[in-house]
Structure 1
Amino acid sequence: MKKWVKSSLLVIIASLTVLLIAACNDSEELQTVKVGEVTRSIFYAPQYVAITQGFFEEEGLNIELSTVAGGDKTMTALLSGGIDIALVGSETSIYVSAQGANDPIKNFAQLTQTDGTFLVAREEIEDFSWDMLNGSTFLGQRKGGMPQMAGEFVLKKHGIDPQEDLELIQNIDFANISTAFASGTGDFVQLFEPTASVFEQEGIGHIVASFGTESGHLPYTVFMAKDSFMKEDPETIEKFTRALKKAQDFVYEASATEVAEAIQPYFEDTDVELIATVVERYREQESFAKDPILDEEEWNNLQDIMDEAGELPKRMDYNELVDTTFAEKVLE
């Protein structure tokens, strides 16, 4: 082999070695943050955008995401140290605090600001009105969960007593509600996306109303952490919140198709066009929070809804369980 060929090979090998070492160093520099989401949902689009578009990496964070089914299990994982940050409904922080937790849970960045469910009717209804639910069989969500509380709040808002004016079914597991309706149970059902849109496509049901539009703004899904974690590592919380804000901007500024393509790795079995339809529906009713700040009016609305449903253990002061310090810094 000629001398110049050997030299070239040595240069190439040396260059590749440097690149590999640099890549390893970059990987080592990223701080791993364990995040537990209460479910996998297009409703949480900004979170997935922040991961796939590299917004967390830009802040030096490596997100280790896991799905922990159920609010109670998600909070158990957070309290036990199994995860650093939880993405779950704010009502769970109220439940935990009411039990006298030694290490308070703080809500620090809001992801969604409305209920994410839709009212689906078995038959297509051109001129829907809520009083059509009187005397019907309604498949609601799990008792004590935010979807069910928001659902009951909306029904009462329209003069319907969930316990007296219709047959309310709420003893079916979350994962089986859609199957029960598809099998013939109920006249109306309260569903999350993309199931509601899939049912429309398949002719199983028809979306007739939005619980999110009807129930108003509230801290529906929020990132929260233990107070001790936030005090010990405030920089991580700030970096996390900054990455989230970048993703929130992306979700509203990019096209629905671009958002759908960005999050499809988390929904491989769902068609991009369907994901885009769902994203657009949630954007139109502003379900995705436009910034991470959870304001006091939203917090009070949440507690009013919980109180109306008979699920509020006691009213919690906004300043005790909400910390907007990091969100405010990000917006400066």
Structure 2
Amino acid sequence: MNTVRSVLKHFARRSVAGLSAFVFAVTAFGFMTPASDAVAATKVKYAEVVRSVFYLPKYIAIANGYFAENGIEVDLTTAWGGDKGTSMLLTGRVDIVLQGPETAVYVENGASPEKTKMFAAITATDGLFLMSRKKMAMKDFKWSMIKNKTVMGWRPGSTPGLFLEYAMKKYGISPKKDVNHVTNIAIPARVGAWIAKKADYAVFFEPDVSRLSREGHAFPVASVGGEVGKVDYTVFMATDSYIKKNPKIIQGWTNAIYKAMQWVQTADATDAAKKISKWFPKVKIEDIAASVNRYRKFGIWKTDPTTHPKAISALQDILVEGGVLKANKRVAYDKVVTTRFSEKAKGK
């Protein structure tokens, strides 16, 4: 356990004081749709990094019974942060996590003898949108507008935080010098902090983007992912030991996700919204549908579940640029990614 703790301290150094008050995992739902062939289901403990329409294919895989078809019963928990998701994975509290790929790099470079691997990806880039209090067309927004303003970002060292900083630097803006960069607001408190006017600009995932916009609290002015480009942003991962012991579960999981990814490509937005509304009980169907349409417009969801070498190389470029990874600590692709399951799923 000492080696595990040393890895978790790596994440803690990039967390912000006060975030620990929100270190909890909210158990949301455990769903299972009986499989038509009566296959005995295996319960899989699974944690999503946050609750967002950003992860639409995952919810669809549950709602449409794709996991059940593969003999899997999903026990879903929300970790509220990649640092917490990694802690849950390394300590055996969950079997599979959906979170940023940077966590596998941190673990690979850490002291823990247990390592993690990505086996399927669902998002092609950052799903955050920079929001302004002033309504304007995206074409009229200039990144220079955020200079000398308060910007509510994300936890340092996380993919949301690193990608936002990368976008700022692209336009010559120093996250440390040119803006008041607020990074100590916990995920569940971000919307409330915005409404309380704690920042001039902030980044949000859907469905918060559509909801805040409809209510007149904030308006999207830029896509962070659009500025950074295509880099696998959210991936499913498990420990090496779990993958070795449970290849059928990992394959079944990947098969279900790939089927859901295909469904998402052509599905009606309102139909998709209704299917996943149980996970967003306080959000209007129209806001969920708007979220689906916005993400589809920006090409957020992957059509291929395989994480390719180019994506890991680009990710590590961002980690090095962000100062959280030394250039001589870049990890080999095959140390953090396995493609056997995603490639087999595509061949079905």
Normalising by structure 2, report the TM-score: 0.85
Q: Does 1:266 align with 2:275?
A: no
Alignment partner of 2:222: what SS?
Answer: strand
Bigger CA radius of gyration: 1
8 Å Cα contact 2:269/2:292 also seen in 1: yes
| The one of 139, 149, 156 aligned to 1:136 | 149
Alignment partner of 2:173: what SS?
Answer: coil
Alignment of 1:26-65 (within 5 A): 29-65=40-76
8 Å Cα contact 2:108/2:335 also seen in 1: no
Code of the residue aligned with 1:187 in structure 2: it is D
Alignment of 1:130-279 (within 5 A): 130-279=143-292
Moved more, 145-154 or 66-75: 66-75
Partner of 1:75: 86
Cα offset for 1:245? 0.5
Partner of 2:343: 328
Moved more, 133-142 or 273-282: 133-142
Moved more, 67-76 or 267-276: 67-76
Code of the residue aligned with 2:167 in structure 1: it is V
C-alpha distance in 1 between matches for 2:151 and 2:86 = 29
| The one of 113, 122, 126 aligned to 2:133 | 122
Higher helix share: 1
C-alpha distance in 1 between matches for 2:225 and 2:294 = 11
Partner deviation per Cα, 1:240-278 (whole Å, 9 max, x = no partner): 101100000111121111111111111122111110100
Percent of paired sites with the same residue: 39
C-alpha distance in 2 between matches for 1:276 and 1:28 = 33
Partner of 2:332: 317
Cα offset for 1:24? 11
C-alpha distance in 1 between matches for 2:236 and 2:282 = 26
| The one of 301, 315, 318 aligned to 1:305 | 318
Partner of 1:91: 102
Code of the residue aligned with 2:342 in structure 1: it is A
Cα offset for 1:125? 2.6
Cα offset for 1:199? 1.5
Cα offset for 1:123? 1.0
Moved more, 284-293 or 322-331: 284-293
Code of the residue aligned with 1:328 in structure 2: it is E
Partner deviation per Cα, 1:125-176 (whole Å, 9 max, x = no partner): 3411111112222111111111111000000011111112222222222222
C-alpha distance in 1 between matches for 2:289 and 2:310 = 30
Cα offset for 1:26? 6.8
Structure 1 unaligned runs (5+)?
Answer: 1-22
Moved more, 257-266 or 173-182: 173-182
* CA RMSD, 1 decimal: 1.7
Code of the residue aligned with 1:199 in structure 2: it is L
Cα offset for 1:196? 1.8
Number of equivalences: 310
C-alpha distance in 1 between matches for 2:94 and 2:194 = 34
Partner of 1:4: none
C-alpha distance in 1 between matches for 2:129 and 2:311 = 20
Cα offset for 1:103? 2.1
Code of the residue aligned with 1:248 in structure 2: it is M
C-alpha distance in 1 between matches for 2:75 and 2:41 = 11
8 Å Cα contact 2:270/2:289 also seen in 1: yes
8 Å Cα contact 2:39/2:71 also seen in 1: no
Cα offset for 1:50? 0.2
C-alpha distance in 2 between matches for 1:287 and 1:253 = 14
